[in-house]
Structure 1
Amino acid sequence: MKSFSNLSILIGLLFTSYGCGLGKWDVGEQYIQKIEGTSKLLYKYDAWGGRDSHCAGYVILDSSETFKVDPKENLPFYYLMGIPNKTVIEGVSHICDNSCGEVYKKAISNFIPLKKEASERQGIHVINIVYQYKGFAERGGGIERYHFENFKETRDSLFFYNLDDVESRNGQHVDSLQFRKTDVTIMQNETNDINKIIIQDLVVDRAAYEIKSNITYYLTPKSKVRSNSFSDYGIFKEVAK
């Protein structure tokens, strides 16, 4: 069953460069997604520094470059909106806009973007679509967890079959789930067996860019599945330590 709707928002807030400083960083988690048609890589990482400082986010690097934590190079969003390509990367973030803290309950919810910010990194256009915090939070659907038996991948989507819900007490069975490739992350062990697939299922009406829903799915295979069973297109894969 769904958790509190604000939980995905809190995860997003943690997954930013807020509080990042200078100094030595210990990278806890690191994932790579290849950007098709380029020599560029999109990194997704999580790192800790001195005095419990925390830094996380997305960074574009050329494949010839060595990754290092540099908060100034972090992309400005919390989640990807779609599959990055050689031309553009789109992501979303949110700001308070008088809808946080004590004024949260009184604020009028807004589900369409407040603004769009454009920049450029490594020759790729970066679009950050900024939403109101309350509107983004209210369309959040929390977390769902399933064990899956089979899957199918197309160029822009993922399908999972014969799933068992492990989040709710009732443990309902689901025949299938379908996801667009938005922000998909594969966690794997040292032999490339998949431990877990995390999908940030952000659904946006492209006509007005209205937020429809934002649910985090944790999918675990019922039997051994290698990460190379999935393509590198539109999917982050964990970097071996």
Structure 2
Amino acid sequence: MRPVTTVAFDADDTLWHNERFFRLTQSRFGELLADFADPAHLGDRLLAAERRNVGRYGFGIKGFTLSMIETAIEVTEDRVPARVIREIIAAGQEMLAHPIELLPHARETVDALAGDYRLLLVTKGDLLDQERKLAQSGLGDLFDGVEIVSQKTPSVYAAIFARHGDGAARAMMVGNSMKSDVVPAIEAGAWGIHVPHGLTWALEHAEAPEDHPRFREIGDLGALPTLLGAING
């Protein structure tokens, strides 16, 4: 049997753009509250709120919107105008409706691998929003399984690869987040392939396991078929 029979992909900022819409909304948030806090301080306060709230709301746009509202209340000492709250909510709703934009080589790579590997989509975030994005991406029919999880941990990966494939030892996880996609997949026994993205959320940073034999980094998804060919011989 080939060393790798199952290939799992992260979704946000691996197959399609995501973080840049958060950055644009955060910039808009800074403009709304320019009279109460400078952008750098406001960004620190927002990140602190996101860190506190991720265990309550999970990952995604809804939690981000609630964290912006909470931060606005805090920095204005409960004096935030209703108009600002309304605009924050509107910004979150716009994010939830934004069209999907695939990253370079996403479609061609997934399509090329679909006939030779068991393909999975493993993503975390809001269920409705992730389902919407997958449907709009046009890639949904190419995956043999889709898992939308609240956290990406070694035990989660191990269970997914046992359920959908030949176990973690013959699986590969491909994603832009070292913390969520690469490190826990390797700890579960799978390959972890890092595809860097220009924008990465601060809470997704982690040290690369440079010396691990199952760690690889590629410049973009277009290099994945060649990498798989080299691993499988």
Query: How does the TM-score come out when normalised to structure 1?
Result: 0.23
Higher relative contact order (CA 8 A, sep 6+): 2
Give the number of the structure whose residues are more often helix, by fraction.
2
Query: How does the TM-score come out when normalised to structure 2?
Result: 0.24
